[in-house]
Amino acid sequence: MIRVVLADDQALVRAGFTLLLNLQPDMEVVGEAADGRQALAVVRATRPDVVLMDIRMPVLDGLEATRRLVGARSPARVLMLTTFDLDEYVYEAMRAGASGFLLKDVGHELLFAGVRTVAAGDALVAPTVTRRLIEQFVRRPPAGAGPPAEFARLTARELEVLRLLARGLTNAEIAGELTVADQTVKTHVAHLLAKLGLRDRVQAVVLAYETGLIVPGDRTHR
């Protein structure tokens, strides 16, 4: 059973999401919060697997709440909720350690799939939205800055997988590009995350753009 906490300052939004999620046989909403500070307390008390976290809330916003959860090494995975598909706060939340984000008007099936994805330890990196978001708000490295030393630990194939991953490709799409099995790609992704000390695919995407490994707008591999 996937344990979920909902953090949103709109009671109707919480009620709607709670109803939908509790109808799923593998999900249970174990707590709700109207602001980020309440969210931190509810997460400590209920120990959920996933936190659906609104970005804009009073007292403490979702961005700072996410930073504090990740900083406290909470095992809960954060899935950000936003009204806008291009919101600079979403990018900051991803840098803080969120495992992805969903628009509040997302379809039911995508909501369920998103919760299951992050609960399974993966990240929600939507090719058409997340990549565009990162490209718009990424903080480019200073001129002449090279890739971080950690990249030297990667094999040539792992570096290639990272580039494709950062462009928003799924494991299946990467496998198609490289003509290898899906499981081989999963293994490469697991290895490169471990070598780089990253929590999930979202952090890998952010790192690739911030270090200049991927240049915004480049579609060489698409």
Q: pLDDT of 142-161, one tens digit each?
A: 545 556 677 889 999 999 99
Its pTM surpasses 0.85? no
Distance CA 220, CA 197 (A): 27
pLDDT value at position 217? Answer: 56
Q: Which residues of the chain, if any, have pLDDT below 50?
A: 143, 221-222
Q: Which of 141, 126, 222, 148 is nearest to 192 (CA)?
A: 148
Q: In what order do the strands lie in the sheet with 27-33?
A: 27-33, 2-7, 50-54, 77-82, 101-103
pLDDT value at position 180? Answer: 93
Structure tokens at 36: 């980020």
Q: How many angstroms from the chain centroid is the CA of residue 138?
A: 15
pLDDT value at position 18? Answer: 95
176: part of which helix (H) or strand (E)? Answer: helix 171-178
Structure tokens at 144: 């002449």
Q: pLDDT of 163-190, one tens digit each?
A: 898 877 888 889 999 999 999 999 999 9
State the residue for tokens 């707590």. 31
State the residue for tokens 């939908």. 20
